[in-house]
Structure 1
Amino acid sequence: MICSHKHRFIFIKTKKTASTTLEIGLAKLTGPEDIVTPIYSDGSKIKEGSIERPGQNYRLKLSEHGLRDFFSLAYNRHAKQKFGNHDSASRVRSLLGQELWDAYFTFTVVRNPFDQVVSMYFWDNRHKSEQERPSVFEWMVEKPWQINQTWQLCSSDGSWLLDDYIRLEHLEEDTTRIVQRLGLSEDAVGLITGQSMKTSQRPRSAKYQELLDERSKALIEILCHNEIEKFGYSF
């Protein structure tokens, strides 16, 4: 998650959408007072040399600590974390306040949910051999909360919360639109989109059209109908 006071934007980080790549690029544009959450909180491996700036200003200020927080501060020798890597839009809005939220431009990156679910499946089963992994449908039934995480992170009370959305399938086009909206230089598009930063757990040959059976497709259509309807995604 990034909150840039310098450029007046808030970036919500979704899952399995190349959001780490965008987050690292956006972090290069931030100033010393901006909020940038750490990259490593999900245990991902980041390609060497890709991180030029660590997290900053994401912990509680001393004045925000309660009594229990001070015990934690004394024990851990650092302030308690206030903002998390994949905080939901509603939580970030609550922490920053409605006035600031309304004043800043808010956005995130989304992905075709059929493709996103397959990437989530391989990520969640990355420590299992091919023989140990359940089928995609079995995994979905066991962990249905993994399926529509974009909606969970970016909505509240049945409505989308953000001002704009970068579609991964139209990465450069949509990023260009947002860069123009923020009044940034054209060079910022390449800086933000950059190159893929995470090591992928998904085989290059793993096409969602081949991995998802009719049951899996139907379940995604039900659970991700909000993403499918808003962004026009299809199988």
Structure 2
Amino acid sequence: MIICHDRRLIFLKGRKVGGTALEIALSTVCGPRDVITPLTPEDEALRRDVGGQGPCHHDRVRWPGTLWPRRVAFRNHSTAAQVRAQVPEAIWTGYRKIAITRDPFDVAISRYHWRRSRGTFPDDMDFGGFVAARRHRLDANSRIAPHRGPDKVDLHLRYSSLLQDLRDNDLSDIVEIVARIRPKSGLRPREARVAEVYRAYPEALEIVAEACASEIAAFGYLRPA
């Protein structure tokens, strides 16, 4: 999660949407007065390699135009509501709020393989069991970066066309870095294609479709064939 004052930009980072690459790239145009949340040690090494500004002011910050610092609690995946509650209203309303949107059916698969790589659930839990156990968390990205309501994001960049969307929205100077780095790559097997996975786990398809119905409709995502 990033607040960049020079760009007047707030980046809200969803889960398993490819946000780390964008976050690292954005940090190369940030400075020591901006808000930048910490990454994993491996991703911080990537950030240093490309010359990005490291973590700063995620727990204590002095906002522009104020005299004294104040305590804050910004996290990697802070929701829009959590961020809005901690920033001056002039920043929230005056800065462009951006996020990445990715097909929820695809996100669920990526979250499964990420969690599996971290050993956070039993080895014998399959994708269907994972989705069923986490049905109430599947719409997390709609809370992090809402597409409607009082805390809605101004711009959702599509994961499927991220580089072009960056070019089309005055962020072309970070495209090369986003294209070059691949944090967390290799965790998901090549055979874990969306259609094949949901053919094997049709109940999981229905759970994701119900839990993420608003997001699916808002961005025109299709049910896997």
TM-score between both structures, scaled by the size of structure 1:
0.80
Of 82, 93, 96 in structure 2, the residue corresponding to residue 105 of structure 1 is 96
User: Is this contact kept in 1: 2:135–2:207, CA < 8 A?
Assistant: no
1:172 aligns with 2:163: yes
1:49 is displaced (CA, Å) by 4.1
1:144 aligns with 2:135: yes
**1:15-26 alignment, distance < 5 Å:** 15-26=15-26
1:47 is displaced (CA, Å) by 8.5
Q: Can you list the C-alpha shifts for 1:146-168, whole angstroms capped at 9, x where unaligned? A: 31111121239856610011111
Letter in 1 for 2:184: K
Counterpart in 2 of 1:218? 206
Q: Where do 5+ consecutive residues of structure 1 fail to align?
A: 66-79
2:43, 2:133 → 1: CA distance? 29
1:29, 1:156 → 2: CA distance? 26
Determine what percentage of the aligned residue pairs are the same residue. 25
Q: Where do 5+ consecutive residues of structure 2 fail to align?
A: 63-67
Counterpart in 2 of 1:230? 218
**1:12-161 alignment, distance < 5 Å:** 12-40=12-40, 45-46=42-43, 49-51=46-48, 52=51, 53-61=53-61, 82-128=73-119, 132-155=123-146, 161=152
1:220, 1:47 → 2: CA distance? 32
1:97 is displaced (CA, Å) by 2.6
1:49, 1:157 → 2: CA distance? 34
User: Is this contact kept in 2: 1:111–1:168, CA < 8 A?
Assistant: yes
Q: Can you list the C-alpha shifts for 1:88-115, whole angstroms capped at 9, x where unaligned? A: 0111111113221110000101111111
1:194 is displaced (CA, Å) by 3.4
Closer/same/farther in 2, CA of residues 46 and 194 from structure 1, 3 Å limit: same
Matched residue SS, 2:32: coil
Closer/same/farther in 2, CA of residues 136 and 230 from structure 1, 3 Å limit: same
Counterpart in 1 of 2:65? none
2:166, 2:156 → 1: CA distance? 9
Counterpart in 2 of 1:207? 193
Q: Can you list the C-alpha shifts for 1:194-222, whole angstroms capped at 9, x where unaligned? A: 32122442112211211122211111111
Q: Can you list the C-alpha shifts for 1:11-67, whole angstroms capped at 9, x where unaligned? A: 001111110000000000112211111112xxx7439544333201212259566xx
2:5, 2:175 → 1: CA distance? 19
Closer/same/farther in 2, CA of residues 145 and 159 from structure 1, 3 Å limit: farther
| Aligned-pair Cα RMSD in Å | 2.7
2:82, 2:140 → 1: CA distance? 15
Aligned residues: 213
